[in-house]
Structure 1
Amino acid sequence: MAGKSEQTRQLVADVALRMFRDLGFEKTTMRAIAAEAGVSVGNAYYYFASKDDLVHELYLQVQAEHAHKAAEAVVGVKDLSGRLKATMHAGLDVMAPYHRFGAEFIATAIRPASPVNPFNDASTAAREASLAIFRTAADGASPAAARKLRAELPELLWLAYMGVTLFWVYDTSSGQRRTRKLVDGLAPLIARGLSLTRIPRASRILDDALDLSRSVRG
């Protein structure tokens, strides 16, 4: 029974995500999802209380696919700039089919109580999965980041990627070309900035920035 239940849940999720891609978020209703999946509306709501929960499922699946593609993309790449560029481009590749409803996704995710708000406790699993992607990118880089920065670096890189994602949502250029160009310029800029942390005066600025980051998180 447990196996059948999980299959039904996955079916509902797969149908919903396909309809999001084909119709857009607003035009996809729970009733339409249930009908397409061949289950009752009540059954669909049993697995996913709202469309927000289905977007959360999308968030989880995107992170899993991003992790897989990023791991392949950084094979043989040693410098942080190259690893970061490959990782970010892999994420954009995974998100590409959902660009049509990106703005609708942001409208959902920006609500503080939304399960897809990346800073909400409900999004912990997806957030940790994304942090792990950037941890892999940073940990495999040579030369390694300054020791005092290593624990904080994955989150800082993830926050930078959140900014790239927001830019991507509103990028109307063909194939989101401008976002790709942003990544190509941002990755080496971040890498060069981090290399400056080995210089004493720049290192003190980094200490102040890390202290500020920790204080606002607390």
Structure 2
Amino acid sequence: MFITEIGQEQAGPDETKAERTRRKVYETAMALFREQGFDQTTMRDISQQAGMALGTAYYHFPSKEAIIGAYYEATQYRHHAYVVEHLPGLKTLQERLKMVFRSKVELLQRDRLLLGTIFRYTGDPKHPLSLLGEGTRDLQQQTVETIGLALKGERLPREVAELLPMALWSLHMGTLLYLLYDESDGQQRTYALIDQSLALTLQVLNVARQPLLSPVITPILRQVSGILDAAQINLTLSEK
């Protein structure tokens, strides 16, 4: 297991009273969402459980959806920090990608029921919490950047380097969707899907690296890149 336990957010030494109150609202809400469900939980339930006035809870989070937005950000922050910490020492691309993908599943594994509620927003591209919409574009880009950490130092053809982050992000999203439906013990089927998909991806990469095949593969990759640009699907790694 890459991540064995995901605890509550820890208070910082300089945390203000307002920050403590906001954190309490968030942690109380997440506990209730996990215990009784998102739809069944009201802002009044959250404020009562947290021992504060309803207006105080609304001051920090104007809606339950705003709390889910904070959950998105907290999850991405934790995953990125974990990847940064554990990448050193992993020598192969396969090891690095496996760590990135598996750790994200472990981070979200206990929230499968909550994720089912969250994923319904994806059907409405204009909803601010849609995982594929403009409202979460910054988080989408941050996820691509986190995945991209595993690719640093890899010598790839330019067209492959441009398309690979988007392809891996798409695989990551598909993995999380599959996680919702995985009733196997410990969601082992999801982990098997990750391992098999990454193995196939690396086989394709090895083929794409062959100089003799470049005249065949490069035009296809350029065409795919053009299609994505025309569709304004342009999550890419930033140049740093």
TM-score normalized by the length of structure 1 = 0.89
Identity of aligned residues (%): 28
**Does 2:62 align with 1:49?**
yes
**Does 2:172 align with 1:161?**
yes
**Does 2:53 align with 1:32?**
no
Q: CA deviation at 1:151?
A: 3.9
The ranges of structure 1 where at least 4 consecutive aligned residues each deviate by more than 3 angstroms after the TM superposition are: none
What does residue 96 of structure 2 align with? 83
Greater shift, 111-120 or 168-177, is seen at 111-120
**Does 2:218 align with 1:203?**
yes
**Does 2:197 align with 1:186?**
yes
Contact 1:34–1:40 (CA under 8 A) maintained in structure 2: yes
Greater shift, 107-116 or 176-185, is seen at 107-116
Greater shift, 52-61 or 151-160, is seen at 151-160
**Does 2:48 align with 1:4?**
no
Structure 2: tracts of 5 or more residues without a match? 1-14, 234-240
Q: CA deviation at 1:56?
A: 1.2
CA 1:110–1:50: 2 relative to 1, 3 Å: farther
Distance 1:14 1:125 in 2: 23
Contact 1:81–1:187 (CA under 8 A) maintained in structure 2: yes
Contact 2:87–2:96 (CA under 8 A) maintained in structure 1: yes
**Does 2:129 align with 1:116?**
yes
**Does 2:139 align with 1:126?**
yes
**Does 2:147 align with 1:137?**
no
**Does 2:235 align with 1:217?**
no
Contact 1:21–1:98 (CA under 8 A) maintained in structure 2: yes
Contact 1:64–1:129 (CA under 8 A) maintained in structure 2: no
SS in 2 for 1:217: coil
TM-score normalized by the length of structure 2 = 0.81
**Does 2:29 align with 1:16?**
yes
Q: CA deviation at 1:113?
A: 2.7
Give RMSD over aligned pairs: 2.0
Structure with bigger helix share is 1
SS in 2 for 1:62: helix
Distance 1:109 1:41 in 2: 29
Q: CA deviation at 1:154?
A: 2.2
Contact 1:196–1:202 (CA under 8 A) maintained in structure 2: no
